[in-house]
Amino acid sequence: MPVPHFIIEYTDNIKAEAEIPALLKKVNQLLISYDGTFPIGGIRSRAIELHDYVIADGTEDDAFVHAVLKIGAGRPESVKKMVCDELFQVMKDHFADLFANRYLALSMELIEFSEAGTYKHNNIHARYKKTATEK
């Protein structure tokens, strides 16, 4: 099944406190922990810092973090729910201090795509297949 991509967009007014690289590592560790559900060599996490945005009426220094988990179709609903519940909890835990001290909106969505219309060329998978056979 196709690989997971975790993409967050976050407002630049939280950059100093958000520790985005640490969040991305936590996300990858969680996805890897679903042994065999997601191929390790295909896991991608990335962040996009937003400079142009308006939140609510634009009069306050509000902030948001929106995440998208993109996965290939075919996984059971129970697995998708468990993964999304855990990922969103990682986000809530990661941003708990910021959430307690400022106005912050957290959101996440799941997008499933079919193999049709996706193109990939990836030799990272081979490294993990080699590591698995060496054990």
CATH of domain 5-134: 3.30.429.10
Give the span between the Cα atoms of 122 and 62, in whole angstroms: 39
What does the pLDDT look like over 22-77, one tens digit per residue?
999 999 999 999 988 888 988 999 999 999 999 999 999 999 999 999 998 889 99
Per-residue pLDDT band at 123 (split at 50, 70, 90) = confident
55: Cβ–Cβ under 8 A, 6 or more apart, which residues?
A: 11, 62, 63, 64, 105
pLDDT of residue 119: 75
Q: Which residue in 4, 21, 39, 76 is the catalytic one?
A: 4
What is the arithmetic mean of pLDDT over 89-114?
Answer: 96
Question: What are the residue boundaries of the structural domains of the chain, listed by start?
Answer: 5-134
Please give the pLDDT value at position 135.
55
Task: Report DSSP letters for 54-76, one per residue.
Answer: --TTS-S--EEEEEEEEEETTS-
pLDDT at 2: 61
pLDDT digits (tens, 9 = 90+) for 68-92: 999 988 899 999 999 999 999 999 9
pLDDT at site 130: 67
2 assigned to active site? no
Q: What integer pLDDT is reported at residue 126 of this predicted model?
A: 81
Residue with the bigger pLDDT between 42 and 96: it is 96
Q: What is the pTM of this model?
A: 0.87
Instruction: Look at residue 95 and tell me whether its pLDDT is greater than 80.
Output: yes
Dist CA 89 CA 86 (whole Å): 5
Residue 107 token pair: 């959101």
Q: At residue 17, does pLDDT exceed 60?
A: yes
